[in-house]
Structure 1
């Protein structure tokens, strides 16, 4: 067998969730208010995400240059933070719990291809980040991952499997190291 990119069908296995014209308008809004380094107020970005169908809780803070692919497939809980240059490639739903932190340049990626299929069909899956979880700077979180409540993925980690609640996790592949909160 050999890879046959000419057989790839971009319409198969991907529900865009909105018409192309809505995507185009979102892209323009994203370029001006999200990808720009200009410090637009976070509240404006939150309001725009809600207008495009995202479910955003109260007190959410979004820094400049955040790239969100499909806002209508995004849920962010109360008082969560999304850091500068974070990228949420959400072909499938991404749910970020309350009081969670997605640090700068973190990449939450729900999209993938089946490398065992010569046509490289999509193999996408949702991502869930639990309440109080922290995704460190420059982490990669892959399709189908659930990060447990209060878990931490340390900076630069590669998260390709679920992370247990309440644990500090690190490395490539990211794995539990020790409890986040020690008993006193």
Structure 2
């Protein structure tokens, strides 16, 4: 079959409808207010106090534990789709594209420039409809610098994703993943 000549098999982005089966979780006013707050206090290079940032995230609907470190220039797309446990570190320039929930357990470290992306499109449909899926980071895991974690991924308990890794499927617990695609390179704990 010649796909180029078959109009049924051509991308038609004007037919995209972001509202099909997708609930943003907040109205226009709340989203607009969040973007202003985010630009001033989260995307800034100024080191605003962590407690203040935690307060702001809670104000916008995030579920927040205690002792959370949020470094400067962290981009959180929708705090009302965010749940963070206790004793979590989020490094500079981390991007949480949480169109749907991101759940971060206790004692989790997310290093600089990591990108957690819940958003995706169905590339087999001409209208490229959303097919977003949540992300879960279990207790004790470490997402290294410049790691990409894709939609629908659950990172196993105490698992390490080494710097620059690309994770597009759920990982096992207590192991180290490296590369693109991220593959198991060994156990985290020496026995």
| TM class, shorter-length | over 0.9
Deviations 1:162-182 (A, max 9, x none): 111000001111111100001
The equivalent of 2:130 in structure 1 is: 122
The equivalent of 1:70 in structure 2 is: 78
The structure that has the greater radius of gyration is 2
SS at match of 2:73: coil
Matches of 2:106 and 2:30 in 1, distance apart? Answer: 28
Alignment TM-score, normalising by the size of structure 2 = 0.94
The equivalent of 1:15 in structure 2 is: 23
Deviations 1:58-101 (A, max 9, x none): 01110000000110110111001100000000011000110001
Deviations 1:27-49 (A, max 9, x none): 10000000011111111111100
Match of 2:178 among 162, 167, 170: 170
Q: Give the aligned CA root-mean-square deviation in angstroms.
A: 0.6
The equivalent of 2:35 in structure 1 is: 27
SS at match of 1:11: coil
Structure 1 gaps of 5+ residues are none
The equivalent of 1:43 in structure 2 is: 51
The equivalent of 2:6 in structure 1 is: none
Match status 1:59 vs 2:67: yes
Is this contact kept in 2: 1:54–1:75, CA < 8 A?
A: yes
Matches of 1:66 and 1:13 in 2, distance apart? Answer: 28
Alignment TM-score, normalising by the size of structure 1 = 0.98
State the Cα distance separating 1:14 from its structure 2 match: 2.2
Structure 2 gaps of 5+ residues are 1-8
Deviations 1:121-161 (A, max 9, x none): 00100000010000000000000000000000000001001
Match status 1:97 vs 2:105: yes
The equivalent of 1:144 in structure 2 is: 152
